[in-house]
Structure 1
Amino acid sequence: MTLTNRQRAVPPSMFADETLMELPPPVRLTGIGLRFYVDDEGRGSATPALIRGQLWPLDTAVTDATIREHLRALVKVGYIETYSINGRKLLALTDWPSVDRGSRSRLPAPPSTEPLARSSRASRETFAVEGGGEEGREDGREEGAGEGGRGPSRDARDETEPSPFCRKHQPHGTDFACGGCASARKRHDQWLRAEAEAEAEGLAE
């Protein structure tokens, strides 16, 4: 699908995003263009040649290396995230609205959007294995286990809680729109959901 087939709008909030507006104009233009480049679920190939051909087709000054620099800058501010699936380099916009009657993406979702319950559960299992044996157990319970031996206490898990703000706006956030903070809030919300699920699993045991 080409860019001309995608009738999309640029959200005004982009121009109030301090972090994004601090980037050089060419990087911002690539960021805006990516909103038309990605599919209906906000995903696309991160191959520089493909992006350059779609967004900068006649600009000989823009090379694949230029596009790579743009992508790195956009990742740094939390506007996009890049990931690899089976050796294929992909990207996803972090703050992507739902599209009415949109087509299902043919590309896999980035790992960060998957439910974190599995990773939370896996971390507890790893904790149990590492603390196994006589050295890791006391009175039949795993070292660091909470009441009833159900696994690490809530306080222990809280140590890994991600911040809901980007690095630039620590620790209190900002009143202005920020793509990095939006991405951080999404990760924080996913972590909270995973913690709630893990807590429910522990109570059910």
Structure 2
Amino acid sequence: MDDLRSPGYLRAPIETKPTAFGLWLHTDVHGRRELVPELIAGDLYPGQAAVDLVVDHLLKLDESGFLRIYQAGGREWIQLENPLRADMRNAPESECPPPPRDLSRHVAAVGGERVSVRERAEEQVREEQAERVSQWAAWEQEQERSRLPARPLLLDAPPIGCPDHPNGRYADCGPCGTARRRHDKWVQERRYAEQLAKVDEL
């Protein structure tokens, strides 16, 4: 099939070729149709959520030269550079306006009335980048928070000595010995609780 050897089709990225082939079958005999991604996705990929895929493919096919995206009458259209060969002698007049001859390939949306497919893709890229920046900021904030040192247990532990000797003493003192045992038991219980908490997190 000669159409499969057209330059625009050969230059098109491999992932866009099913969309390119489908457009041959779902444009008029002049290779034109209105660019409504939702309708094109419904024709080419029925039953699938393929609107974003179609938008991406249309932009790539425009860049490869398989088709042309243009504005006319305040609406957006596509024109295949090499429509399927057909007998044009009895072909009906296209209901789609032809692309302007004096404008560049990439035409901006007219008066902001309608967001073009390119603007829609650029907006999607900006939203994704903003989301990634937000995710990284949250991750960095969490990392910074996790670097704060844990409060040492000994700061909250009972004193190691009695009221008369709050820092303990080496000489025999019954109340100091009781306080020390209470202190050691408290520390052991807290450390054991922390170990159990770590096991539960696994």
TM-score normalised by the shorter chain: which range applies? 0.3 to 0.5
Larger Rg: 2
TM-score w.r.t. length of structure 1: 0.44
TM-score w.r.t. length of structure 2: 0.44
User: Quick one: higher RCO (CA 8 Å, sep 6+), 1 or 2?
Assistant: 1
